[in-house]
Amino acid sequence: MTRRSSSITIRDVAREAGVSVATVSRYINHNAPVSSEVAVRINKVMTGLRYTPHAVARHLATRKTRAIGLILNSMNYDFFAPLLSGLEEIVAENEHNLLVATYRSDTRQSFPPPIGPHNTDGVVVFADTLDDAHLTQWYQLDFPVVLVHRTPPDALPIPCVTIENKTATQSMINHLIEVHGRRRIVFMRGPEHQEDSRWRELGYRAALEAHAIDYDERLVLNGGFDRDIAYEAMSAFISTNHVQFDAVFSGDDDSAVGTLRALQEARLSVPDQVSVVGFDDQHFSSFINPPLTTIQAPTEEVGRTAGRQLFQVLKGEQTDLITLLPTRIVIRVSCGCAQTLSEKKEVVSPKNVIHVVS
């Protein structure tokens, strides 16, 4: 018979994991590092035993931290500013404080997450941060979590908020093919295992198939949703592959910046020779040269929605398990459309219809 989690002690965890009580304590309190192997073993045992440290149990019972957490994989990119702004708005409305931290379970397994049940009432978790084991453990502790830009592990009923990726990308590729006659379109992937990137690639493939264009693996690059990685990937592609191409779907706007730099250094004219498009419509996208055609993602609203849902969970209210927010295409110059910044064409991706706004 499985023992109740309330009767499980730190000594039980240490014995099952084959380590000392002091090592388990260091892992729980993250006041000193432990090896990745030991951290994984301790976390697995804690999950299996459903062990709740006393400090965590007190916070779960009282909910008196008055703090909400946000875990990101990085804060190096402009992309995160509107997400943070939207979430902060909702947190302030509910008279809580917001704690923000970066964490990647694939590189920091020797430390537990810096934000969680021990210091917050609930956490918004961004993609590529916590692994499935951490999320499963928090779910078993009944700790409130809302996921952003990723779905929950093993079909656990954890709410998630994301955006429409596939249809928008397919519409953008359709635009490049149908309006500008592009047929050799480079697709720049995001980080490995990133769900947004996978859905965008599905949209890319769907558009090619609809126009009887063969998928060419040589035209798929790894841009990492990062301007430096994208620059290196595009520079190497141009200099070593000698594969014909006439357009680039850059994965996101940060990648588009690196792509444009590589094309300019190679003296390839944008958009005359190569069309370039992005995704997100970050604040700088209309100011780079040429102004970037991109897919506008409601990143600030993602933050607001995730915040609202987290407080619904805290109040014991029902919330949607999957929220898919719409995106739209913003046509500027980099795809080849001749227009000024004061003129704006938009494609509403769910309807796949172009609307011209003067």
Residue with tokens 């916070």: 59
pLDDT value for 27: 80
Q: In whole angstroms, how large is the CA radius of gyration of the chain?
A: 23
Q: What is the pLDDT of residues 160-179, one digit of tens each?
A: 999 999 999 999 999 999 99
Task: Kindly report whether the global pTM for this prediction surpasses the value 0.85.
Answer: no
Q: What is the pLDDT of residues 284-294, one digit of tens each?
A: 999 999 999 99
Please provide the average confidence, as pLDDT, over all residues in the chain.
Answer: 88
Checking if the pLDDT of 129 tops 90, the result is yes
The residue-averaged pLDDT of 74-101 equals 93
The region that residue 28 occupies, defined by phi over 0 for left and psi between -120 and 50 for alpha, beta otherwise, is alpha
Q: What is the pLDDT of residues 27-44, one digit of tens each?
A: 876 666 778 788 888 888
- Residue that wins the pLDDT comparison between 260 and 140: 260
Length of the chain: 358
Q: What is the DSSP string of 255-301?
A: HHHHHHHHHHHTT--TTTT-EEE-SB--TTTTTSSSPPBEEEP-HHH
Checking if the pLDDT of 74 tops 70, the result is yes
Q: What is the pLDDT of residues 320-358, one digit of tens each?
A: 999 999 999 999 999 999 754 444 445 444 454 343 332
The residue-averaged pLDDT of 90-118 equals 86
Cβ contact 126:75 at 8 Å: no
- For the chain, what percent of residues have pLDDT higher than 70? 88
User: What HEC string does 27-82 produce?
Assistant: HHHCCCCCCHHHHHHHHHHHHHHCCCCHHHHHHHHHCCCCEEEEEECCCCCCCHHH
- Of 239, 88, 231, 240, whose CA–CA distance to 248 is shortest? 231
Domain 166-297+327-357 has CATH 2.60.120.10: no
CATH 3.40.50.2300 maps onto the chain at: 166-297+327-357
Cβ contact 291:335 at 8 Å: no
Domain 1-51 has CATH 1.10.287.130: no
CATH 1.10.260.40 maps onto the chain at: 1-51
